[in-house]
DNA sequence: CAATCGTGATGACACAGGTTAATTTACGAT
DNA sequence: ATCGTAAATTAACCTGTGTCATCACGATTG
């Protein structure tokens, strides 16, 4: 079941068994990608989209000086560039952050789904709109929060998304990002990200290491980042505590 | 023809005559709204969406201290909260900025369109994805540009969008925004927006007044804002110079 | 085993933009 | 016309974050 994490715990869009099966058959190929690999370049015409199964991916826009602004981070279960199906050409690049396993879905297969299954089509549409809602939360983060708030907000968001994917127990998760990734996410320099991480550590809110993120005080961290998870449309009532997330190194 | 500006000049999604007619019949009611009026509140369930006919609207997220971050500005022709059709509940508020005329489209009418007309449904989907692309450009603006660049980017973007709507001749357009709106768009204070506007005026790039924005040097302004219009998916080849945009006050 | 490179950590200093407050201008209401 | 209020403008000062530079550590690689 490659699609098992897709739209999981998403409020109001439960996938029926037949719908999930139909998506499974739409998958053309499973691929493993090395870390830090570009998979989509802005401006090129696309005929397929990527469902992320394992690992982390990013979408970003380059500026004139070669710096980049990340506009999205994707976790397992995300249909990373489904928006390329209607748009055909993207305005940004897509790359792996860590090693990743992906399912390739040809647009021709999505085409037949939109012809036959309006209900499933609507759920695909919905999933692209969650990405847009996350964009808006990121706008809030960049426009209204200071450096500490931005990092706290991002870590809180990622924690909830990974809980929904069964990859965090609510306090501890693996994330293959380095400090300069955080800088490109939060619109800060890596020097300042380093200062912020030290502060979060010293205030016993959260410890960020590339291999493992540990949230010591989830409520306070969320408060510092003014994080309100409503925009994720996740209903964690139904989420079991996973067994597969990283354990403390006691 | 209330829908005449919807998806106009949008690359690859030309609306057929029958499709446009179908959208027209989906309209329930035409309303006029006063300036600075809230029309959607975050968290409330919605059963209709708004097509903007005249005026300007915004979408925004409040922070803890009552400050707000605008996440979108809408111009005539935009289907402002079409994303509420799949999402049902929004993560942000929607309000008019100026006086506005809107067409109300009940979700039940959209429902039948998605049942009957997959091609039109895809174009509706497309239009919500343009909003997402604009979100990403705004992320770039907030994350990577300094104050002058942010304002230059926003004005350049708005100019192109209004050209497509037939409301700018490429150098001059009416926009009912005040300086503190710009502040809430660009993640700055209104005091600093004022400094930036003076600089843009003194460098003869652009003159911003609430009633009229005049771009003296569009190319240089776009360069300062690192503005690349590709993300708008507008094909202005087919755009005629409008007669309805504001004339110089010679 | 040394050399290299990616990543993280830290200090000194600079500056863009925030804060506060006062003043001026524009404009709708009466 | 005149008043009242919202918006725009400007100045003085302050602070959060950027810039630049250096060093430490661990993982590769030759």
Pinpoint the alpha helices (H) of A73-214: 84-87, 107-116, 118-144, 147-164, 179-186, 190-202
Closest by CA to A172, choosing from A248, A234, A225, is A248
pLDDT band at B180 (very low <50, low <70, confident <90, very high): very high
Cβ–Cβ under 8 Å, residues B46 and B40: yes
Strand C nucleotides within a 7 Å radius of protein CB atoms? 6-12, 16-21, 27
Sheet with A100-106, edge to edge strand ranges? A29-33, A100-106, A48-54
Angle value at C-alpha A151, between A150 and A157, nearest 5 degrees: 90
Q: How far apart are CA A136 and CA B153, in angstroms?
A: 18
Q: How far apart are CA A100 and CA A81, in angstroms?
A: 15
**A160 contacts in B (CB within 8 Å)?**
none
What's this model's pTM, rounded to 2 decimal places?
0.94
Closest by CA to B60, choosing from B87, B95, B33, B86, is B95
What are the DSSP calls for A125-160, one per residue?
HHHHHHHHHHHHHHHHHHHH--HHHHHHHHHHHHHH
Q: What is the dihedral of CA B93, B98, B99, B104, to 10 degrees?
A: -40
Q: How many Å lie between the alpha carbon of B115 and the closest alpha carbon of chain A?
A: 6
- What is the predicted pLDDT for the residue at B211? 87
Note down pLDDT in tens along chain A; length 250 residues: 899 999 999 998 999 999 999 999 999 999 999 999 999 999 999 999 999 999 999 999 999 988 999 999 999 999 999 999 999 999 999 999 999 999 999 999 999 999 999 999 999 999 999 999 999 999 999 999 999 999 999 999 999 999 999 999 999 999 999 999 999 999 999 999 999 999 999 999 999 998 899 999 999 999 999 999 999 999 987 555 455 555 443 3
Long-range contacts made by residues A198-202, C-beta under 8 angstroms, separation at least 24?
A199/A148, A200/A148, A200/A151, A200/A152
Cβ atoms within 10 A of the Cβ of A239, count? 16
> What is the percentage of chain B residues whose pLDDT exceeds 70?
95
- For strand C, is any atom closer than 7 Å to the CB of A210? yes
Q: How far apart are the first and last CA of chain A?
A: 33
To probe the interface with A, which of B132, B149, B193 has the most A CB atoms within 10 Å? B132
Cβ atoms within 10 A of the Cβ of A111, count? 14
* Residue A58 backbone dihedrals phi, psi, to 5 degrees: -135, 160
Q: Note the pLDDT tens digit of each residue in B183-199.
A: 999 999 999 999 999 99
Strand D nucleotides within a 7 Å radius of protein CB atoms? 7-12, 16-21
Distance, angstroms, CA A178 to C1' C7?
8
């Amino acid at each position: 079941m490659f699609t098992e994490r897709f739209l999981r715990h998403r409020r109001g869009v439960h996938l029926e068994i037949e719908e999930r099966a139909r998506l499974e058959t739409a998958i053309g190929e499973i691929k493993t990608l090395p870390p830090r690999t570009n998979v989509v370049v802005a401006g090129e015409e696309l005929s397929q989209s990527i469902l992320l199964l394992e690992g982390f991916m990013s979408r970003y826009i380059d500026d004139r000086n070669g710096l980049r602004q990340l506009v999205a981070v994707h976790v397992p279960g995300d249909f990373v560039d489904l928006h390329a199906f209607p748009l055909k050409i993207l305005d940004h690049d897509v790359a792996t952050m860590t090693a990743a396993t992906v399912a390739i879905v040809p647009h021709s297969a999505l085409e037949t789904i939109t012809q036959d299954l309006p209900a499933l089509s609507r759920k695909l549409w919905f999933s692209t709109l969650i990405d847009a809602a996350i964009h808006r939360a990121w706008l809030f983060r960049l426009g209204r929060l200071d450096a500490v708030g931005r990092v706290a907000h991002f870590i809180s968001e990622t924690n909830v998304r990974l809980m929904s994917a069964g990859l965090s127990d609510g306090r501890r998760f693996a994330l293959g990002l380095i400090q300069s990734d955080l800088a490109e996410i939060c619109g800060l320099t890596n020097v300042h990200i380093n200062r912020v991480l030290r502060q979060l550590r010293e205030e016993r809110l959260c410890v960020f290491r590339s291999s493992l993120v540990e949230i010591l005080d989830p409520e306070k961290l969320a408060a510092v980042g003014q994080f309100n998870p409503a925009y994720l449309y996740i209903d964690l009532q139904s989420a079991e505590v996973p067994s597969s997330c990283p354990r403390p190194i006691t």
